[in-house]
Structure 1
Amino acid sequence: MLVADGDQVFRARLCPLLESLGYDVVAEAASALEVTKLLRSTEPELVVMELPLARSLGFRTEHRGGLLRRLPMVVLLNGDAGHEGLEEALDAGVRGFITKDLDAALLDSVLSHVLSDGCAIAPELLGGVMDKFTGSRARFTRAHPRVGLLNDSERHVLQLLGCGFENARIAEELHLSRASVKTYVSRLLGKLHLENRTQAALLANETGLVRRVAVAAQPEQTQVIRGIRR
């Protein structure tokens, strides 16, 4: 894991916390230039990065990392509960969002879900993400009737997207191959006129196909809203 944040004091708190949770912090970066160098030299599986640094990289680590054998997953750290920049980050493939309050249980829940091939969003950020994805409620309202165009298999896949399940879990739940799940996801996105799986997950909850997507990280303490990888 690469930790990228311009605040040395914050990194000094975050890195030991991550290691105490069992994560291997291979390097730290304080600037976009350092991120570029360390991406090439360490090729981390996961980058935990503050929002300002992510903006300077255009939200895409491949823009700075050169020709990497694999692209790392990115989790953003936001200094507050604001939502500016999150729409662009989602479009660029950022996989997780959490505020910088260093709640250990919530941090662990987000990171473990992302490493399980999912997308995880802290609850205080979810409202803004949904508003930005919809633009306005009218866009999803127009999409609601199109849910009726889905066949039973596509509807079931949409429901499980809304629950935050990755392809492997959906395949297991519906007794399908992963290739079939991928086909169903592509087909339902086309029918619903949506751009990606995160929008589909939000729509599944907006339409009532899924009643709840909040999963307790620890009972009565913290919650994480789980989305799905695009």
Structure 2
Amino acid sequence: MTVRVLLADDQEIVRTALRLVIDRREGLSVIGEASDGEQATALATELQPDVVLMDVRMPGMTGVEATRRITTTWPGPGQAPRIVVLTTFDLDEYVHAALHAGASGFLLKNSTPDQLAHAIRAAADGEPVLAPSVTRRLISTVTALPPALLPSPPTPSPDERSPTDLLTERELQVLVLVAQGLSNARIASALDLTEANVKSRVNRILTRLGLDNRVQAAVLAHRTGLLATTRMPPET
């Protein structure tokens, strides 16, 4: 099955380079190009790609707003495309906002062709497009952002259960490892599960907690104290 990709970047030379890299990879194909957020939103609806590579800074409608519109107003059929945000800086505040607007992850523009291809395939499969070290920095930085940019699960009253009380013990274990930045493969290895089983559990966790992506789940785990007594794995 070929993963269909839409490119959104205001620089033609960047789009050309991305197209050359992607189209040379087996199972990947660029089906369209957009030069701003408004065009990206329109083409996403028209072409229904599997993945959108979205530049975060574009004239007019930004990549953040385009991401929000695609993920929240998707007309179907099927699910909205996975959106991978492209950025020059790994701690760009716009990237955090885009993740909370529904992006599946982000990729640095200086990534290698192999990293780009892997990120596209991972996003299409519902995998995170975030390295463990980047996830740690995201958790640290995102939790310091203004509340308007953070996921806001309801705060329970003293006689109510915490949102994480909705999860089973195994799901809590998976959530902690997600918050530590582990991939589905590493979580499967750590918990002696299959990758398919981990993927299913992660999706169930997001649904039960009312979250859109793994970064939001990581932030929630951080805010509810699940990581307080958990040792983070060494950076890779």
Shift of 1:54: 0.8
**What letter matches 2:29 in structure 1?**
D
Name the counterpart of 2:154: none
Q: Mark the CA change 1:165 to 1:205 in structure 2 (over 3 Å): closer, same or farther.
A: farther
Residues 31 and 47 of structure 2 are in contact (CA less than 8 Å); yes or no, is this contact kept in structure 1? yes
Match of 2:37 in 1: 32
Which sits farther off after the overlay, 104-113 or 125-134?
125-134
If the length of structure 1 is used for normalisation, what is the TM-score? 0.66
Instruction: Measure, in 2, the Cα distance between the counterparts of 1:31 and 1:122.
Output: 27
Match of 1:116 in 2: 125
Q: Which residues in structure 2 correspond to 1:108-147 (within 5 Å)? A: 108-122=117-131, 125-126=134-135, 128-135=137-144
> What's the counterpart of residue 50 of structure 1?
55
> Any stretches of 5+ residues in structure 1 without a counterpart?
137-145, 215-230
Q: Match for 2:103: what amino acid? A: V
Q: Distance in 2 between matches of 1:81 and 1:57?
A: 20
The Cα shift of 1:188 comes to 9.3
Q: Percent identity?
A: 20
- Relative to structure 1, the CA distance from residue 93 to residue 20 in structure 2 (aligned partners, 3 Å threshold; closer, same or farther) is same
Cα distance in 1, alignment partners of residues 204 and 74 from structure 2? 33
Secondary structure class of the residue paired with 1:117: coil
Q: Structure 2-normalised TM-score?
A: 0.64
Q: Which has the higher contact order (CA 8 A, sep 6+)?
A: 1
Cα distance in 2 for partners of 1:20, 1:129 equals 32
1:96 Cα shift? 1.8
* Per-residue CA distance 1:11-43 (angstroms, 9 max, x = gap): 111111011223111111112232133122211
User: Among 48, 53, 60, which residue is 2:69 paired with?
Assistant: 60
Q: Which structure carries more helix by proportion?
A: 1
Task: State how far apart, in whole Å, the 2-side matches of 1:120 and 1:80 are.
Answer: 15
Structure (1 or 2) with the greater strand fraction: 1
Instruction: Give the match's secondary structure for 1:2.
Output: strand
| Aligned-partner Cα distance in 2 for 1:173–1:45 | 27
How many residue pairs are counted as aligned between the two chains? Answer: 197
